[in-house]
Amino acid sequence: MTTATETTGVFKVYIRATPEAIWNAITDPEWSVKYGYGGYVSYDLKPGGAYAVRPDEQMLAAGKEMGFPIPDVIVDGEVIEANPYTLLKQSWRMIMDETTFSEGFTTLTYEIEQLSAGYCSLTLIHECPAHPATLRMVSGLNEAPPDQGGGGWPWVLSDLKSLLETGSRM
């Protein structure tokens, strides 16, 4: 399920995995590099703790090939609240795109809920008030192909689901 208002995107997926596995996939750099657009996450999982995503080798190579410089940190922010296996709320800013960078920080919330034996829902809420370019990008509403930055959170969550359930990316 995906919904979006003028200021908020809500993206929900159901995954046959434990809350711990989903949490680890979100917060562990060895997992984050395996799905979505890649990149190595870094979290200091306490209120006020730093959040950053560094590009992986594939992203650096693609940027070089396209003549698009990739910064050392592509996304940054700060942890607002972290309750392992159930809730992660943080600020979020895309650095590698001038337009989204200039819009500033948004608020990103992951909610993990155990539903029944082996199933969880993962809801991602991305609040983007006065951030139209960011909301358009993260909602997957831009013109780029999904696997080249155009799929937004729906692409990332679909790939995460595939990885956790099958061991392979989409």
Structural domains present in the chain: 2-166 (3.30.530.20)
Beta bridge partners of 82: 88
Residue 148 banded pLDDT, cuts 50, 70, 90: low
Beta bridge partners of 15: 120
131 alpha-carbon distance from chain centroid: 17
Per mean pLDDT, which range of 81-90, 105-114, 148-157 is the poorest? 148-157
| H-type alpha helices, the chain | 19-27, 29-32, 57-66, 98-103, 132-138, 152-166
Stretch 109-134: mean pLDDT, rounded? 94
Mean pLDDT, the chain, whole residue set: 91
Residue 66: predicted pLDDT: 86
As given in the structure block, the two tokens for residue 39 are 């990149």
Residue 143 has pLDDT above 90, yes or no: no
User: CA dihedral in degrees (104, 84, 29, 131; nearest 10)?
Assistant: -20
Count of C-beta atoms within a 10 Å radius of residue 51: 23
Residue 1 has pLDDT above 60, yes or no: no
pTM of the model: 0.91
The C-alpha atoms of residue 88 and residue 169 are separated, in whole angstroms, by 23
As given in the structure block, the two tokens for residue 125 are 């809420």
The C-alpha atoms of residue 18 and residue 157 are separated, in whole angstroms, by 15
Residue 19 has pLDDT above 90, yes or no: yes
Query: Could you tell me what percent of the chain has a pLDDT over 70?
Result: 92
